[in-house]
Structure 1
Amino acid sequence: MSSLVQKGLQISKNVIFNVFLQRAGKLLGKPFRVAVVLREVAAKLDDNNSPKGALQQIADMGRTLVRLVSAYITGSYRHIEGSTIVAGLAVLLYFLSPIDLVPDFIPMLGLLDDVALVSWFISKFAGEITRFREWESTSAVSASGVAPAPANSDRSLPAVAELGHS
């Protein structure tokens, strides 16, 4: 994984990525256009033809990045530096673009630079992503007033109130 992060760091310093940083900075003031980009990135991440397995964790983090930028754009999450959002949006734009260091139409290799850049972003901004995920889990509780059920909860057991306890 560290070699992917190092490759991503190299890409982040490339002139081509600077073009995406500038584009992201300009795009940030246009929430509707950002929403379109986010939908397209999410669709690309969910592509059934994409390689799965070891890359699944990176795809999940990519989805988290999509949610993070979306929450920032809608104004529901602002506990993050603007430069981090610009970098995140630039990574998503790079991921979406067929024109990058290794064109996406080249099987497997075409996605490797995209995955490397996402890996770099995740490693560089791990603390920001962790804080966002914590905010997501607590905001889900505050929005609904009910904590989400644990993933391994057994629905066959009666709730405490059903047992006559309150």
Structure 2
Amino acid sequence: MSSLSEMGLRLSKNALFNVFIGRSTKLLGRPFKVITTLNEVAEKLADKKSTDNKFQQLFKTALTLVRMVKNYINGSYREVSTSTIVTGLAVLLYVLSPIDLIPDFIPVIGFLDDLSLISWFAGKFQDEIVRYKEWEKTSQGTATSASDAKATPDLIAMPALGDTSQPSVAELGHS
């Protein structure tokens, strides 16, 4: 059997994943929708009851990816290429989708393709993930990082009305 990252590489070249790349590209122009999607992914990942340590790292990587895309969308982190964000968002859309190569409703193996795609992303974009984690440690992202241990859906809370510390949706290119 091949490794998870090898399976993820095959998935990344699959026509079905290209559909998610297209959706991800279109979604980037709609920051509010991206945040809503990221909340759904975080909630899906938080529902995991497995305590198997070999998968915990992949879940943490997926949650790091959720935070990285969120910080890119809100403008606080831009030290990443747009193609990485598009690919990362496509991976998250794939994870969120119940319709993929191995349907999620199949116990245990239903998430194998999701985990393999996350593993592939983590390997391919490891340098960018490491840079993001370093940025997170040294910036205001540290507060978000502390909630990573809980993996709660409110990980990606929307700013309160009147909060000027983050750019508004219109400022991010959505009107």
Normalising by the residue count of structure 2, what TM-score does the alignment of the two structures yield?
0.78
Residue deviations 1:70-116, cap 9 Å, x none? 00000000011100000000000000000000000001111000000
Q: d(CA) in 2 for partners of 1:20 and 1:46?
A: 22
Tell me: CA distance 1:33–1:137, structure 2 relative to 1, closer, same or farther (3 Å).
same
In structure 2, runs of 5+ residues without a counterpart are 147-175
Taking structure 1 as the reference length, what is the TM-score of the superposition? 0.82
Instruction: Measure the CA separation in 2 of the matches of 1:67 and 1:142.
Output: 11
Q: Percent identity?
A: 57
Distance 1:37-1:142 versus aligned 2 partners, 3 A rule: closer
Q: 1:142 to 1:71 in 2, by over 3 A?
A: closer
> How many correspondences in the alignment?
143
What is aligned with 1:32? 32
Structure 1 residue 48, shift from structure 2 partner: 4.0
Structure 1 unpaired stretches of 5+: 149-166
Cα shift at 1:54: 1.4
Secondary structure of 2:79's match? coil
Q: Could you tell me how far 1:142 is from its partner in structure 2? A: 9.4
Higher relative contact order (CA 8 A, sep 6+): 2
Q: Which has the larger radius of gyration?
A: 1
Trace 1:13-162 onto structure 2 (pairs within 5 A): 13-50=13-50, 52-140=52-140
Counterpart CA distance in 1 for 2:140 and 2:116 is: 31
